C-alpha cells in the first residue's frame, strides 16, 4: 500500500478508535484521499495502517526480548494524518508480562475491529487477517519472523497465525489478507496480494529479490 498525505494534522486519544462516528469520518477521509467511494475498501485501507501501528510496539518488544507494553486504547495517543490515517501510536503504559500484554492487545484490536466493521461493512474475519499479516510484516522488519507465531499464539481468539514464504533467499509474509487498494482508481493489486495467481505472485516476488 502506497502512503499518501503523510503530514500529521492532530493527535487524539486511543479511545477515539472505538468511536463509530470518529472512525467513520476518518474512513471517509481515507476514501477521499484514494479516490474511492467504497466504504469497504477505504475502511480496509485505513485498518491496514492502524493495525500495523497497534501491533508494532508489541512485536518489537517480543523481538528484542524486552519489556512488553500493554497496548490499551485509553492509554494511547494517536497522531492523525491529513488523510485520516494513523501510522504510529504513542504509549503511556507500563510494561506487562508478555501474555498479559498480548491479551491487552487482543482486547484493543477486537474493540477497534468491531468499530471498523460497523463503519465500513468489512468482515470481521477479514479485518483479523489484516492483523495477522501486519504482525508478520512487523516481525520481518524487526529481523525476527519467528516471534510472529509466538505473539499470535499469545493473542489468541480470532487471530489467524501469520504465514511466511522464502523467495530468492528472502522472507516474505504469505499474506492471507487483501488491502483492497486495487479497487481505488489507478491502483493495482499489491505484489504479494493473495488474490493474485500463485505463479504470478511468485514471479513478482522473485523480481523483487533480484532487482529485475
Q: Where are the domains of the chain?
A: 8-160
Grid look-up 503530514 returns: 7
Coil, strand or helix at 130: helix
pTM over 0.85: yes
Strand pairing class (95-96; 68-69) = antiparallel
pLDDT of residue 3: 45
Q: Which grid cell is 137?
A: 510484516
Segments of the chain scoring below 50 in pLDDT: 1-5
pLDDT of residue 23: 98
pLDDT of residue 186: 95
pLDDT of residue 96: 80
Q: How far apart are CA 182 and CA 35, in angstroms?
A: 12
The class of domain 8-160 in CATH terms is mainly alpha
Amino acid at each position: 500500500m502506497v502512503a499518501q498525505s503523510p503530514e500529521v494534522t492532530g493527535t487524539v486519544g486511543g479511545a477515539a478508535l472505538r468511536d463509530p462516528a470518529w472512525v467513520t469520518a476518518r474512513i471517509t477521509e481515507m476514501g477521499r484521499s484514494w479516490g474511492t467511494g467504497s466504504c469497504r475498501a477505504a475502511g480496509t485501507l485505513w485498518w491496514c495502517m492502524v493495525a500495523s501501528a497497534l501491533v508494532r510496539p508489541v512485536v518489537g518488544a517480543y523481538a528484542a526480548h524486552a519489556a512488553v507494553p500493554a497496548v490499551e486504547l485509553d492509554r494511547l495517543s494517536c497522531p492523525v494524518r491529513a488523510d485520516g490515517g494513523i501510522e504510529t501510536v504513542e504509549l503511556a503504559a507500563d510494561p506487562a508480562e508478555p501474555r498479559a500484554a498480548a491479551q491487552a492487545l487482543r482486547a484493543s484490536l477486537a474493540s477497534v475491529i468491531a468499530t471498523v466493521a460497523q463503519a465500513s461493512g468489512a468482515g470481521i474475519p477479514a479485518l483479523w487477517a489484516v492483523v495477522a499479516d501486519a504482525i508478520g510484516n512487523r516481525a520481518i522488519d524487526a529481523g525476527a519472523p519467528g516471534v510472529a507465531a509466538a505473539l499470535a499464539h499469545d493473542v489468541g481468539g480470532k487471530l489467524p497465525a501469520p504465514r511466511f514464504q522464502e523467495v530468492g533467499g528472502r522472507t516474505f509474509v504469505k499474506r492471507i489478507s487483501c488491502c483492497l487498494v486495487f479497487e481505488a482508481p489507478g491502483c493495482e493489486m499489491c505484489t504479494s496480494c493473495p488474490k493474485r495467481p500463485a505463479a504470478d505472485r511468485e514471479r513478482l516476488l522473485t523480481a523483487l529479490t533480484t532487482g529485475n
